[in-house]
Structures are given as C-alpha cells and as structure tokens.
Amino acid sequence: MRPLKLYALDEDDLAVLSAHVQDAVVKVSDIRWSPTSQQFSVPMNRFAWERTTARRTRREGDQRRRSVLHFDRVRRARASGIGPNDRDAVLSVLAVVFEMGESPAGVVTIVCSGEIAFRLDVECIEAQLTDLGAAWSASMRPTHRLGKEAR
C-alpha cells in the first residue's frame, strides 16, 4: 500500500484523520510544540486500520507505520493527566476531536489512554497526517470492548 498523506481543513476531515490515528502509539518525549512557528507535531507508530477493514482477527497483513500528525496555527498547547517526569511514557491515541470556538477557531483535543489529553487552541483546523517510510508487521491487533466488561 502507498503511504498516506491526508489533510484536514474542517471538522469532517479531522474525523477521518482521527480514524487513521486510533491506536497509534506515541512516546511523550517525541511530541513537539513550537510557540514561535505555531506548530504542534506528534510522531507516532500508527496501526494501519485501512488494511484491516474486512477482517476481525489478526492476520499477517496487519501493519504499523511510522507517521507524523502535524498541526499548524496552534496558538497554545496544554497537556492534562501527564507530568514533566513522564517523558518516557508511551501513550495510545484514542481520538482527535474538535470543539468550535469563535469560528473558525476552536480547540483540537488529542485524547489518549490513561485519561491523558493534549488540547490545542487553534486559529482554524489545519492538520496533516503523513506516513514516513515503509510499514512493518504489527505484533498484535488492538482490541476494543464495548460496554461494561463481564465480571
């Protein structure tokens, strides 16, 4: 498969990016925010869900790809649920959502496992997801349980 290069300029586009980064793993120390250039980037190893849409169980074709989720026009970036001593923590991305403010501005939230979130105050949605290089075989497929777990 060809590497992805997707752009998001509105809330619907951002929902597509969110689906592609679900279950990506991110090392906290790799995340970068530049207040001067108003850019926020999240290097990640994303699970290539687009390869597995018709299958329910792990197959040899399951892959991960090195990717970068990048935002421009970021006025402010904040993290919650994580401290300065957690730089070596590895997070799993659950979703990327947008809350409209004074149009076209708003807040993009990158929701991660462990009740961790990154909130980006943005002038507008201007995001990009880019795959970098070749894919590799995934050692496991992420699973999700709906509702309450059985006891």
What pTM value is reported for the model?
0.85
Q: Are 62 and 117 a contacting pair, CB within 8 Å?
A: no
36 assigned to some structural domain: yes
- Residue span of the structural domain in which 38 resides: 5-49+63-135
148 assigned to some structural domain: no
Lowest mean pLDDT among 77-86, 115-124, 141-150: 141-150
82 assigned to some structural domain: yes
pLDDT tens track for 47-65: 886 766 555 555 567 888 8
Number of domains, the chain: 1
Q: What is the per-residue pLDDT for 29?
A: 94
Q: What is the per-residue pLDDT for 139?
A: 67
150 assigned to some structural domain: no
Q: What is the per-residue pLDDT for 151?
A: 39
144 assigned to some structural domain: no
Rounded to 5 degrees, φ, ψ at 147 are: 75, -165
At residue 101, does pLDDT exceed 60?
Answer: yes
